[in-house]
Amino acid sequence: MLTSLPPLPASPEKMHKPRKRFGQNFLHDPAVIQRIIRSIRPQPGQIMVEIGPGEGAMSRELLQQIGRLDVVELDRDLIPLLERELAPLGELHIHQADALKFDFCQLSPGPHQLRVVGNLPYNISTPLMFHLMEMNHCIQDMHFMLQKEVVERITAPPGSGQYGRLGIMVQYYCQTELLFTVGPGAFRPAPRVDSAIVRLIPHQTPPVEVNPAALSKLLATAFAQRRKTLRNNLKGLLDAEAIARLDIDPGLRPERLTLEEFARLANAIDAGKQ
């Protein structure tokens, strides 16, 4: 049964002032933390890394469950607090580094063995996710707290208003699932938007055969003007007849297409350049 350690001391001398330049909003709600831990289901012996542990509220719970934890933290001033409060609870490895440049695979003992968690700063969440997806081969799964709107875009199905370039590219790399939403009051300071927890499970084999760079470039063009049809948005890349030969209606708007259909378009454009 999950049991919770007491929250970190909240005395002024032990509290860290959140820094806007690091996008810091510290999670402090014990009920939310426990719900995240139940969703992650950490097990002893697993290799887990937390990005941006902040004051260590979630790190404490993870250490309690698995006994060993790597954390990647950019803010040097948080390191002494983390060492003081967390090191006695288990085997803690602190990497003072920029997560956007960090080689996460160095922590994994083999393919698809690293579990990644984090309350990601909103201002770097998208580039950080794509940095991690380049290391899919060593990652088992990822659980992130992100802006709710971003999670809705990541998990959106074809035909929905949120479906677009971001979601399609993430879904090329991973299975996606919105787990639950979190209100602003769970953080210090409270953000102006709702947040959500997303689960990403890297595909061991890509769901479609396509050059991801070509797919990304196609999506940027296709969604440049969402209200226009493929016939109009892909002018200069594929004409209407070429689109129709791929068994895709050139009169459709881009949000109606599946990942597989976008892959067909990207492959046809690539073939035409050869």
How would DSSP label each residue in 167-193? HHHHHHHEEEEEEEEE-GGGEESPPSS
Q: What is the CATH number of the domain that holds 233?
A: 1.10.8.100
Residues 112 and 56 in one domain: yes
Would you give per-residue pLDDT tens digits along the chain (274 residues)? Answer: 333 444 444 443 455 554 444 455 778 899 999 999 999 999 999 999 999 998 899 999 999 999 999 999 999 999 999 999 998 899 999 999 999 999 999 999 999 999 999 999 888 999 999 999 999 999 999 999 999 999 999 999 999 999 999 999 999 999 999 999 999 999 888 888 999 999 999 999 999 999 999 999 999 999 999 899 999 999 989 999 999 999 999 999 999 999 999 999 999 998 876 4
Q: Which residues, other chains included, contact 266 with Cβ-Cβ below 8 Å and sequence gap of 6+?
A: 210, 211, 214, 215, 217, 218
Q: Is residue 240 one of the residues assigned to a domain? A: yes
Q: Which of 177, 202, 227 is the last residue of a domain?
A: 202
Residue 101 lies in a domain: yes
The last residue of one of the domains, among 165, 182, 202, is 202
8 A C-beta contact, residue 78 and residue 55: yes
Q: How many whole angstroms separate alpha carbon 94 and alpha carbon 47? A: 14
Distance, CA of 132 to CA of 51 (rounded, Å): 11
pTM, two decimal places: 0.89
In one letter, which amino acid is 110? G
In-domain check, residue 4? no
Here the CATH number for the domain that contains residue 126 is 3.40.50.150
CA distance 137 to 185: 36
- For residue 160, give its domain range: 12-202
- 24 lies in the same domain as 83: yes
pLDDT at 8: 44
pLDDT value at residue 170: 98
How high is the pLDDT of residue 17?
55
Strand pairing partners for 47?
114
The whole-number pLDDT of residue 15 equals 56
What per-residue confidence (pLDDT) applies to 1? 34
Find the farthest-apart pair of alpha carbons in the chain and give their distance in angstroms, rounded.
69
Q: What pLDDT score was predicted for residue 13?
A: 41
Distance CA 47, CA 57 (A): 19
